[in-house]
Amino acid sequence: MPETINPLMSTYGRYPVAFVRGEGCRLWDDHGGEYLDFLAGIGSNSLGHCPAPVVEALTGQARQLMHTSNLYRIPLQEELARRLVKSSFADRVFFSNSGSDANEAAIKLVRKFMKDTGRPGRFEILTAHNSFHGRTLATLAASGQEKVQRGYDPLPTGFRCVPYDDLAAMERTIGPYTAGIMVEPIQGEAGVVIPRDGYLEGLRDLADRHGLLLVLDEVQTGMGRTGRMWCHQWSGVTPDIMTLSKGVASGLPMGVCLASDRVASSFTPGSHGSSFGGNPLVCAAALAALDMLEGPGGVLAEVSAKGAYFLERLEQLRQRHRMVKAVRGRGLMLGLELNAPAEDAAAICLSRRLLVNSVMGTTLRLLPPLVVTREEMEQAVGILDGVLTDLF
């Protein structure tokens, strides 16, 4: 193959920029250009680029041991599991490599639990329109977006989508085959859609009354993104299963499925597995990330105040620009909905050295690192103001 031809499969519409260095909320390209990163690896670099405690943990661990496999005990994995259990509702943890993996584990666990508890006919999981749960065939089938499913028929059966934030529709859809309900506390890929107060509580009530499991996909909302460690803590609801990824290991690949003991007991030796999941290297990074979030004077304590300030500044943008339809957000997970396609605005932001992205056609999604400063937020607002002025 000629060297001028890119050998990568064409699964991404990549922007023509290559980043070679990062620090905090900043990135530098291969020509020395400096950028303000308000996308953070689609939420994965939640503590910024190359945070020193994570880098130190990684380099130290890499000199000792990077991988063994889950055929053997991994003490760092056990320590990380204890930390996650302590900070959540869960009793048990399964580690994998991505959000898709974590959601696959949750789907399998729902089905296995139903069979183990004498209800083998219950296999169906109810999900929501515009949801996004991953790129495997099962998580594609669970997702409520036709655009990501197109071309992969026939998809696995066992999923039914209903309107998001509609308890009546969810209840009408429950039937004799229903095993669980799986939703995102805030829909990220749908444009940062926040349900009304009482929605998660209503889902918990439906699950309890109908003998179902409640699965909360916190791949994007977890690890402090919304100002609480887990987004569902804003509602006081306790799920049966929760899935995580994104910021868990501060930019390294990790997926996590957490569950109560009652449910997790259905996973027995050989029922599920992962070659790389929870290896020593990634667990070292995740433990350092947790220390940064939860330790004395940790990052998590400031997220709500930062998010409130940023939301207020974006609302002021809405008042100045008629093309801004709505501003939505909780913590540092925000969306700027436009009355026009958002892709052009995202591209111009990139040309002005601000990274954001377009979701659902008309919304700019902003996921700055949780370590973002007010000065950096002001810089981002200034760039957005100029883009909206020039474009509309």
Q: What is the pLDDT of residues 229-254, one digit of tens each?
A: 999 999 999 999 999 999 999 999 99
pLDDT band at 295 (very low <50, low <70, confident <90, very high): confident
| All domains of the chain in start order, with CATH | 19-50+300-391 (3.90.1150.10), 53-294 (3.40.640.10)
- Angle formed at CA 220 by CA 38 and CA 369, multiple of 5 degrees: 30
DSSP run (H or E) holding 167: helix 167-173
- Over range 334-349, report the average pLDDT: 97
Please check whether residue 131 is in contact with residue 164, taking contact to mean a CB–CB distance below 8 angstroms: yes
Q: Is the dihedral of CA 118, 244, 261, 88 positive or negative?
A: negative
Q: Is 132 considered catalytic here?
A: yes
Owner of token pair 């006081």: 236
Please check whether residue 196 is in contact with residue 173, taking contact to mean a CB–CB distance below 8 angstroms: no
Considering the candidates 113, 123, 132, 310, report the single residue annotated as catalytic.
Answer: 132
Q: For position 283, what pLDDT does the model report?
A: 98
**CA–CA gap between residue 347 and residue 352 (Å, rounded):** 9
Q: What is the pLDDT of residues 44-60, one digit of tens each?
A: 999 999 999 999 999 99
Q: In 10 A of CB 75, how many CB atoms?
A: 9
Q: What is the pLDDT of residues 80-125, one digit of tens each?
A: 999 999 999 999 999 999 999 999 999 999 999 999 999 999 999 9
Q: What percent of the residues of the chain are helix, what percent strand, and what percent coil, each to the nearest 5?
A: 40, 20, 45
pLDDT band at 280 (very low <50, low <70, confident <90, very high): very high
Q: For position 1, what pLDDT does the model report?
A: 60
Owner of token pair 């947790």: 290
Q: Write out the two tokens for 371.
A: 């370590």
Q: Using the predicted structure, report yes or no on whether residue 2 has a pLDDT greater than 80.
A: no
- Angle formed at CA 204 by CA 203 and CA 209, multiple of 5 degrees: 95
Q: For position 5, what pLDDT does the model report?
A: 82
Q: Is 217 considered catalytic here?
A: yes
- Over range 134-141, report the average pLDDT: 97
Q: Nearest to residue 388, comparing CAs of 340, 353, 355?
A: 340
Q: Using the predicted structure, report yes or no on whether residue 388 has a pLDDT greater than 80.
A: yes
The average confidence (pLDDT) of the chain is 97
Considering the candidates 101, 240, 246, 310, report the single residue annotated as catalytic.
Answer: 246
**Residue 322, Cβ density class (10 Å: 0-12 exposed, 13-18 middle, ≥19 buried):** exposed
- Over range 373-386, report the average pLDDT: 98
Q: What is the pLDDT of residues 156-176, one digit of tens each?
A: 999 999 999 999 999 999 999
Distances from the Cα of 286 to the Cαs of 22, 96, 186, 223, 371, in angstroms?
19, 13, 23, 11, 16
Considering the candidates 217, 240, 267, 306, report the single residue annotated as catalytic.
Answer: 217
**CA–CA gap between residue 173 and residue 292 (Å, rounded):** 42
Please check whether residue 90 is in contact with residue 294, taking contact to mean a CB–CB distance below 8 angstroms: no
- Over range 269-286, report the average pLDDT: 97
| DSSP reduced 3-state for 318 | helix
